[in-house]
Chain A
Amino acid sequence: KAGVTQTPRYLIKTRGQQVTLSCSPISGHRSVSWYQQTPGQGLQFLFEYFSETQRNKGNFPGRFSGRQFSNSRSEMNVSTLELGDSALYLCASSPWGGRREGTDTQYFGPGTRLTVL
């Protein structure tokens, strides 16, 4: 099976702009989670989508949002970009997101490196 794919791999934006990142999960996986990785804060959970609904959300402002489509592909949007949003954004998929026993292992994509100038 193909792994998790993320596009684009690199993005450069300026403050105030908005950005959309895309994630295609492993075929058959229904849960998609997003994480932000920065040198200062490490890996932080943004949100999880399952069956097109956001099921869990981390401690991030409302500028961070997402959605999931019927084919389980997911997008993440950040509006009104700030310098501090520069980070590696990682997407991960799992079969059922832990909703069935033994299905909580998450597989990560290569990430999208976002630089905000």
Chain B
Amino acid sequence: GNSVTQMEGPVTLSEEAFLTINCTYTATGYPSLFWYVQYPGEGLQLLLKATKADDKGSNKGFEATYRKETTSFHLEKGSVQVSDSAVYFCALSAPTGTASKLTFGTGTRLQVTL
């Protein structure tokens, strides 16, 4: 079956530091890949997505590239802010034509300090 593996957290960084959160996946076919972010007490917000190999998703300074050869979708940001403190989830969606279902990683908590 499909699965997503994320690096364990928490990740603690100083403001303006570089961020990488690793994500690898196992799936049949060609899934779509997503990063969602969850702020305390809230639901999930879509951060970015990529639907095919070599696609780069980007939003609010965050980027991730769909690497089929390494089955990875690592999240990066060049300079984090305190407001980026949240839990980040990597997820995949089964290929088109099947029922809609997201498979999530365990989440990585990011804490950014001044």
Please give the residue numbers on chain A whose beta carbons come within 8 Å of chain B beta carbons, in ascending order: 4, 6, 31, 33, 35, 42-43, 45, 48, 50, 55-56, 58, 90, 92, 94, 97-111
In the assembled complex, the Cα of A55 lies from the Cα of B100 at a distance in Å of 8
The residue on A at minimum CB distance from B45 is A108
Q: Is the beta-carbon distance between B107 and A105 smaller than 8 angstroms?
A: no
Flag whether B81 is at the interface (Cβ < 8 A): no
Which A residues touch B107, using CB under 8 A? Answer: 42-43
Among A4, A48, A99, A107, the residue within 8 A (CB) of B97 is A99
Among B42, B94, B95, B106, the residue within 8 A (CB) of A42 is B106
In the assembled complex, the Cα of A56 lies from the Cα of B104 at a distance in Å of 16
Which B residues touch A43, using CB under 8 A? Answer: 89, 102, 104, 107
Q: Is the beta-carbon distance between B102 and A33 smaller than 8 angstroms?
A: yes
Flag whether B93 is at the interface (Cβ < 8 A): yes
Q: Is the beta-carbon distance between B43 and A98 smaller than 8 angstroms?
A: no
Asked whether A31 and B43 contact (CB < 8 A) given A43-B89, A105-B32, the answer is no
